[in-house]
């Protein structure tokens, strides 16, 4: 089996073992080369172009079948064309992070050739925040604490900064984050205080805790907080009835 372009010679051997060349001939094998542009990027990676080049025969009519996902479904059948190489511009879309394989099948009067190329799609930089507990209550004038954690994905490496909390009760006590930023996989402690007589009590408030990541933007999480007061003492007077005499 001949798998590469080769040159062959025919020789005749005489009775004394001497070889004499009779003729030479060449063989050409149809091959193909496939490339993607871009070949890597962040999801969603759209409008990827595929370029196919056939080798072995530089003339004639070609027909290219482009399969963006190597799944047997051709996104483009060029029909008979003379172009070599052939560029399928903005042909493929890759919506989610993964390693993809594109495939080209090239038809020519001298044979069929196939080739593949890889496209690497990574997750976009991102992070998420979570809070524990997701609901709490605090008695005036005490304070309560929440643990706020950051999980990073894609190429985002942190830190999460500009931490804030919104929708607090009116007239809260001190509000602090310690530390003031969060590393990927790390956490901070949010402490919320109350004042003795002016922080409203009763209905739970949904607090929104936010942070900012460079190149990502703001992300947030929520928790509920209810402010209560110490129970009023009950005073019992005994006896509940009495009598006296005035003289």
pLDDT, one tens digit per residue, over 60-114 is: 899 999 999 999 999 999 999 999 999 999 999 999 999 999 999 999 988 899 9
* pLDDT score for 1: 43
- Say how far apart CA 52 and CA 76 lie, in whole Å: 12
**Alpha carbon 228 to its chain's center:** 43
* pLDDT score for 25: 52
The arithmetic mean of pLDDT across residues 31-47, rounded, is 96
8 A C-beta contact, residue 113 and residue 203? no
The arithmetic mean of pLDDT across residues 212-229, rounded, is 95
- Is beta strand 62-67 parallel, antiparallel or unpaired with respect to 76-81? antiparallel
Whether residue 23 has pLDDT greater than 50: yes
* pLDDT score for 196: 79
Give strand ranges (E) for 76-153. Answer: 76-81, 86-94, 98-108, 111-122, 126-132, 135-139, 143-153
Strand, coil or helix: what is 14?
Answer: coil
């Amino acid at each position: 089996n001949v798998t590469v372009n080769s040159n062959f010679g025919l020789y005749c051997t005489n009775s004394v073992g001497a070889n004499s060349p009779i003729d030479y001939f060449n063989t050409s094998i149809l091959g193909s080369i496939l490339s993607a542009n871009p070949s890597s990027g962040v999801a969603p990676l759209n409008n990827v172009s595929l370029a196919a080049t056939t080798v072995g025969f530089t003339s004639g009519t070609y027909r290219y079948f482009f399969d963006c996902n190597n799944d047997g479904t051709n996104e483009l059948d060029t029909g008979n064309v003379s172009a070599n190489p052939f560029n399928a511009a903005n042909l493929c879309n890759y919506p989610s992070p993964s390693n993809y394989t594109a495939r080209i099948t090239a038809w020519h009067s001298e044979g069929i050739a196939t080739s593949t190329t890889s496209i690497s799609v990574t997750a976009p930089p991102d992070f998420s925040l979570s809070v524990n507990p997701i609901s709490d209550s605090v008695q005036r004038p005490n304070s309560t604490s929440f643990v706020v954690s950051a999980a990073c994905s894609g190429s985002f490496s942190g830190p999460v900064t500009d931490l804030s909390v919104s929708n607090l009760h009116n007239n809260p006590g001190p509000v602090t984050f310690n530390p003031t930023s969060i590393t990927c996989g790390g956490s901070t402690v949010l402490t919320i205080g109350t004042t003795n007589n002016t922080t409203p009590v009763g209905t739970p408030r949904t607090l929104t805790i936010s942070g900012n990541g460079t190149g990502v933007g703001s992300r947030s999480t929520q928790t509920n907080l209810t402010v209560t007061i110490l129970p009023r003492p009950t005073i019992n007077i005994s006896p509940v009835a009495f009598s006296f005499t005035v003289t």
